[in-house]
Amino acid sequence: MSLLFLLRSSQRIPFKSALPQIKLLRRQQLSSHSTPLTSCQAIDSIEQSNSTLNAFVSYRTKDDIAKSEPQNGPLKGWPVGIKANIAMTTASTTCASKVLEGYTSPFKATAVEALEKAGAVIVGKTNMDEFGMGSKNLYSKYGPARNPFRPDDTVGTEIYDYSPGGSSGGSGAAVAAGMCRVALGSDTGGSVRLPGAWCGIVGYKPTYGRISRYGLVPYGSSLDTVGIMARTVEDVLSTFKAICIPDHRDMTCMSESLRKRINDMAKSRPWVNKLYEVSPGESLEIKQPLKGMRIGIPRECWVEELSEPALESWKAGARRLADLGCEIVAVSLPHLPYSLPTYYTIALAEASSNLARYDGIRYGRRSSEKPDDLHNCNASNKYANTRSEGFGVEVQRRILLGTYVLSAQTCEQYYIPSQKIRRLIQQDFDSVFALPNALHAESALAKSRLLTSRPAGVDALLFPTSTNTARLLESKEKNQAAGYVNDVMTVPANLAGIPAISVPAGKKNGMPLGLQLSAQYGDDELLLRIASHLQQ
């Protein structure tokens, strides 16, 4: 069924972003590794390309890696990059900010511990927007990371002018350029999925609470997730299984009982379980491995800023899933157009609170500015100078906006209504998915209904990851808010806490495009299985 037919009753929804039109250019083809990437090959690639791409802010030497034998496990020998806001004891955790210059954490993040236990080899820390605040990897004390893809008319030159996306741009560029097999990022509003789309790789944001946030430096605590980036969905799935563990050190991490409840509900769907029971002679099941699945196309994602290349890739993705046996249906998420202002109200409020701890007294950078006289020699001035010198322009902007949102005069006008809209967005998602939300008390009753009949609703949603292909690093927005529209397709999943994944969806004039799938809260494994069939 035509996507345009499904959406013909809808009108494009303007977000009034006035995004400048960017000419679609071709990029140089990147060679894929026919054999698994080793840690030595990864270091060779970093040493060769990092001066151009600026994907890693620090990395290990071959001699250092040779001294430590990786543990036996499912990821043994896999070279992995770690975003600069995820704690390690052997490398500094700066969040690409001057305020944490030279800071080394006294403990490891749970995700890093799990990776090493599974046999992975950590090769270095990747570049990012300062404290995760940005969508183009421009706001870093190390300078911008660059996209390894470039237009064909610059082949033979040293011009790399395209953004890898943000804030996990270094992780995205590193995986795409063969500097590591897998990279961890963080996704607060699309910071793993947008680089995935712009760098032509897979970017996966799990359900909130699936992977422990212990050791992830917080930006927006109710939105932050540890995400995974790789070239294939299979590598993402292997990594996810290794680090998806309960953790009592993170109060937001899923408990064992909640994980069991989700698994029990997921197994109660006969139309899904049948997908993995191929009987002899059932050739239809092999040709159409997703037969019986229902995929929703959200009308509200057909926005005014959606470029023709993104729309065409969306249509092609819907056709591909239909060929695989899926039923494609239009759905409505009526509060989705409010997701962007809701996200930026809540995220900035949480950021202003979380970043209040950086005062230059307990750890990190401290201002060296000398007071002019004894009257100015006090802790408040030292504190203010430290934050003014340490935080970059974008972080300062977001702290100021977040502090304003939480002030007594404006909290009831902005922050509280945004939390109410967030709940409505969550309810919109619950209303379109066939699987009930396991967090709700009535989920046990809903589970019994799943066993008897196919309920109304869809198993996953399909929509673009970005409104366009990768943008030029130096492109100027008409206003500051226009730059935030890069996140318009990704922030709803963070507000709802549901899993979402971006997979490569072809190219337009050589530049990668990404398609996004999302599923019900906790339904990560089904989402990854569908994504493995969608990936081109």
What are the helix and strand counts (H, E) for the chain? 19, 11
Three-state secondary-structure class, residue 325: coil
Taking each helix axis as running N to C, give the angle between helix 416-432 and helix 339-354, from 0 to 180 degrees, rounded to the nearest 10: 130
The pair phi, psi for residue 206, each rounded to 5°, is -75, 175
pTM of the model: 0.90
According to the model, what pLDDT value does residue 510 have? 81
Dump pLDDT digits (tens) for 51-99: 999 999 999 999 999 998 889 999 999 999 999 999 999 999 999 999 9
Mean pLDDT of all residues in 463-491? 80
The yes-or-no verdict on residue 478 having pLDDT over 60 is no
Distance between CA atoms of residues 150 and 177, nearest Å: 12
Q: Which residues are catalytic?
A: 83, 167, 191
Mean pLDDT of 12-22: 32
What torsion, rounded to 10 degrees, do the Cα atoms 485, 490, 491, 497 define? 180
CA dist 100 and 106 (Å) reads 14
Q: Length of the chain, please?
A: 536
Q: In terms of C-beta distances under 8 Å and separation of at least 24 residues, what long-range contacts does 429-433 make, across chains too?
A: 429/333, 429/492, 429/496, 429/498, 429/518, 429/520, 430/520, 431/457, 432/296, 432/331, 432/332, 432/333, 432/457, 432/458, 432/461, 433/457, 433/458, 433/459, 433/519, 433/520, 433/523
Average pLDDT in the 416-432 region?
97
376 pLDDT more than 70: no
pLDDT given at position 72: 94
Q: What is the CATH number of domain 1-536?
A: 3.90.1300.10
Q: 440 φ, ψ to 5°?
A: -85, 145
pLDDT of residue 27: 32
Q: What are phi and psi of 449, to 5 degrees?
A: -70, -30
In percent, the amount of the chain with pLDDT more than 90 equals 72
pLDDT for res 443: 61
Least confident residue range of 40-49, 277-286, 325-334, 407-416: 277-286
Kindly list the domain boundaries of the chain, sorted by start residue: 1-536
Q: Residue 480: which pLDDT band, with cuts at 50, 70 and 90?
A: low
pLDDT tens per residue, range 505-528? 988 888 899 999 999 999 999 999
pLDDT given for residue 26 in this prediction: 26
Least confident of 5-14, 44-53, 387-396: 5-14
pLDDT score for 370: 62
What are the angstrom distances between the C-alpha of 380 and each of 116, 344, 367, 387, 457? 42, 29, 12, 11, 56
The predicted structure's pLDDT at residue 484: 75
HSE, side-chain direction, 13 A CA sphere, residue 203: 40
Q: What is the mean pLDDT of the chain?
A: 87
Q: What is the DSSP string of 380-445?
A: HHHHHHHHHHHS-HHHHHHHHHHHHHHSTTTIIIIIHHHHHHHHHHHHHHHHHBSSPPTTSTTHHH
Q: Residues 201-225: what's their mean pLDDT? A: 98
Identify the residue whose tokens are 């008897």: 452
Q: Give 397's pLDDT tier (boundaries 50, 70, 90).
A: very high
- The residue type found at 41 is Q
CB within 8 A of 301, min separation 6: which ones?
336, 463, 464, 489
- How far are the Cα atoms of 98, 184, 342 from residue 171, in angstroms, in the given order? 20, 7, 27
